[in-house]
Amino acid sequence: APTLRIAPSLLSADFARLGEEVRAVIDAGADLIHFDVMDNHYVPNLTVGPMVCQAIRPHCRTADGGPVPIDVHLMAQPVDALIPLFAEAGASLVSFHPEASLHVDRSLQLIRSLGMKAGLALNPATPLHLVDHVMDRLDLVLLMSVNPGFGGQAFIESSLPKIELLRKRIDASGRDIWLEVDGGVNPRNIRRVVSAGADTVVAGSAVFGGSDYRGAIAALRGEAAG
């Protein structure tokens, strides 16, 4: 089976010790570092921006020195001015919500032109057809299984058939587009999320909610494999 990528969300980490938290979660087996950017405008919460991304960048290395990608999830509006700032700050992937950009195709091109992977983030009520005419501009789709803004919310069950439909579209395109699911993923539902077609999962509270990050990531991988 293809390897499942696990992206712990720093939203549930200890912000006073962010560098240590990043190193701990990488040591525990994280594949990506999910970085949630909230602006109190597109979503009703306020988090961190490019300066904090730049500050964690040196900590995003495995024990043998390999880089661990920073997966930026922009919940901010507008997006275009932020994209070069995150490129400068060392982000590897940038996803944004189509509702937050007036010119989705242009924003996707901008992300790639700066050498990053480009993603669209779809809210629970956002139709899948928003990806239809930009498939060739996408490296990932970030499918939200909660309404964006907060960690620790309950997984919305209607996300499962939506993941299945998106998986079909991606496979039909023949393109290498990641399907990342974000929100409420835990050891009790990850099997269904992965069976429906996710290849990358975000986990905030399921990883940072306890003290054993290695055990938490292992539990996610174990339950995903069945």
Which residues line the annotated binding site for a divalent metal cation? 34, 36, 73, 182
What secondary structure, in 3-state letters, does 62-79 show?
A: CCCCCECCEEEEEECCCC
Residue of 36, 71, 139, 180 interacting with Zn ion (CB under 5 A): 36
Cβ distance to ligand DX5 smaller for residue 63 or 220: 220
How far, in Å, are 145, 151, 166, 222 from residue 107 at the CA level? 23, 26, 21, 37
How far, in Å, are 61, 86, 135, 226 from residue 143 at the CA level? 26, 21, 15, 22
User: Residue 206, interface with ligand DX5 (CB under 6 A)?
Assistant: yes
- CB under 6 A: which stretch of 14-22, 62-70, 85-93, 150-158 binds ligand DX5? 150-158
Cβ distance to ligand DX5 smaller for residue 78 or 150: 150
Task: For the sheet with 93-96, list strands across it.
Answer: 5-8, 200-203, 178-182, 140-144, 117-122, 93-96, 70-75, 33-38
User: Residue 200, interface with ligand DX5 (CB under 6 A)?
Assistant: no
User: Residue 117, interface with Zn ion (CB under 5 A)?
Assistant: no
User: Residue 183, interface with ligand DX5 (CB under 6 A)?
Assistant: yes
Which one of ligand DX5, Zn ion, none is in contact with 98 (Cβ closer than 5 to 8 A by kind)? none
Residue 185 and residue 193 in contact, taking contact as beta carbons nearer than 8 Å: yes
User: Taking the complex as a whole, how short is the minimal distance between the CB of residue 77 and ligand DX5, in angstroms?
Assistant: 14
Which residues, 6 or more positions from 27, have their beta carbon under 8 angstroms from its beta carbon? 63, 213, 214
- CB under 6 A: which stretch of 20-28, 53-61, 131-139, 202-210 binds ligand DX5? 202-210
- Annotated binding-site positions for substrate: 9, 73, 149-152, 182-184, 204-205
Return the residue matching tokens 């919305």: 156
DSSP 8-state symbol, 3: P
- CB under 6 A: which stretch of 25-33, 79-87, 146-154, 217-225 binds ligand DX5? 146-154
Residue of 78, 84, 149, 187 interacting with ligand DX5 (CB under 6 A): 149
Cβ distance to ligand DX5 smaller for residue 49 or 184: 184
Chain-centroid distance of CA 134 in Å reads 19
Residue of 87, 166, 182, 189 interacting with Zn ion (CB under 5 A): 182
